[in-house]
């Protein structure tokens, strides 16, 4: 793996495809790392794209700060921008799944000029999610967000039982076992959980950078969601294109929450089509 610097931190990433191709950045979610995007990344690289897949803050061994504020969405987006800067890339296709999708929603507002296109996989827009918590049964599916933001106990649970919880949400057993091992590596469980802990703080008092909007128009945007997603229901998914202007919404029939790993070929095809439309 290669590395890049973001402030005082060093993050690792995988680079695939020709360096002179259009750059596509793939952002993973929880409790995943860059390997979750490996199948999709390989397909895009073979199609001629220059693919960058980072292990995000908390997951990279040399990027596990102890202060919760260092896991703000603004700080996490800053890492993505630092990766682009490290490669001298002014504008890239940015694709995110799960928590990575949350970063894409934020970048779409704060750094639209650095995005050729935006693609979000699984994660509804924050405004749609807020609506769904009070108007649909989505709150019952989101209970884990508050639970895993608690101190200490979540680390114990995910280090012991994560694999079975992931399998119950339709992630293949071999990938679930891999993430169980990942969470038992030094610092990873706490680093990953700190995303949620800081999220709760930001809900009460958003960071200045997170609230800032860039006057540039948003990039062409695509939202992909699996109809069998265990964490985000159909109501919140379909609300997303209602609250985001000029958004293309596509449902993947029978798809689980873990689309980059369970539907890699179909996902890569839809992403590639969107990037070509630009």
Q: Indicate the helix (H) or strand (E) that contains 228.
A: none
What is the longest distance spanned by two Cα atoms in the chain? 47
Residue given tokens 């919880």 in the structure block: 165
Q: Which tokens in the block code for residue 169?
A: 């949400």
Phi, psi of 79, rounded to the nearest 5 degrees = -65, -40
CATH 3.40.50.1820 fits 2-138+206-277, yes or no: yes
pLDDT digits (tens, 9 = 90+) for 101-130: 999 999 999 999 999 999 999 999 999 988
Instruction: Kindly report whether the global pTM for this prediction surpasses the value 0.85.
Output: yes
For residue 150, is pLDDT > 80?
no
Q: Indicate the helix (H) or strand (E) that contains 217.
A: none
Question: How far apart are the C-alpha atoms of 277 and 266, rounded to whole Å?
Answer: 17
Question: How far apart are the C-alpha atoms of 278 and 125, rounded to whole Å?
Answer: 20
The mean per-residue pLDDT over the stretch 245-252 comes to: 96
Region label for 187, one of left (φ > 0), alpha (ψ between -120 and 50) or beta (otherwise): left
pLDDT digits (tens, 9 = 90+) for 192-228: 999 998 987 775 555 544 455 677 899 999 999 999 9
Question: How far apart are the C-alpha atoms of 79 and 86, rounded to whole Å?
Answer: 10
Q: Yes or no: say if 94 and 229 are a contact pair by the CB < 8 Å rule.
A: no
DSSP, collapsed to helix, strand or coil, labels residue 116 as: strand
First to last CA, the chain: 29
């Amino acid at each position: 793996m290669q590395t890049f610097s973001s402030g005082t931190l060093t993050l690792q990433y995988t680079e695939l495809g020709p360096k002179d191709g259009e750059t596509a950045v793939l952002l993973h979610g929880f409790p995943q790392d860059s390997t979750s995007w490996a199948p999709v990344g390989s397909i895009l690289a073979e199609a001629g794209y220059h693919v960058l897949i980072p292990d995000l803050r908390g997951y990279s061994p040399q990027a596990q700060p102890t202060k919760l504020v260092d896991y703000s969405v603004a700080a996490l987006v800053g890492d993505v921008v630092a990766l682009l800067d490290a490669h001298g890339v002014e504008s890239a296709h940015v694709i995110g799944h799960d928590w990575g999708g949350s970063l894409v929603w934020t970048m779409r507002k704060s750094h639209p000029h650095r995005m050729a296109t935006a693609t979000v996989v699984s994660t509804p827009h924050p405004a749609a999610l807020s609506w769904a918590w009070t108007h649909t049964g989505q709150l019952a599916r989101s209970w884990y967000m508050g639970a895993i933001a608690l101190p200490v106990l979540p680390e114990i649970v995910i280090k012991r039982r994560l694999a079975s919880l992931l399998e119950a949400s339709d992630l293949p057993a071999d990938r679930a076992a891999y993430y169980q091992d990942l969470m038992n590596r030094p610092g990873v469980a706490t680093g990953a959980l700190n995303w949620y802990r800081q999220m709760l703080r930001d809900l009460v008092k958003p960071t200045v950078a997170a609230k800032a909007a860039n006057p540039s128009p948003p990039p062409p945007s695509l939202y992909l969601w699996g109809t069998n997603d265990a964490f985000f229901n159909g109501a919140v998914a379909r609300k997303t294109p209602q609250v985001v202007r000029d958004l293309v919404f596509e449902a993947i029939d029978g798809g689980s929450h873990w689309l980059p790993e369970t539907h890699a070929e179909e996902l890569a095809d839809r992403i590639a089509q969107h990037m070509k439309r630009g």
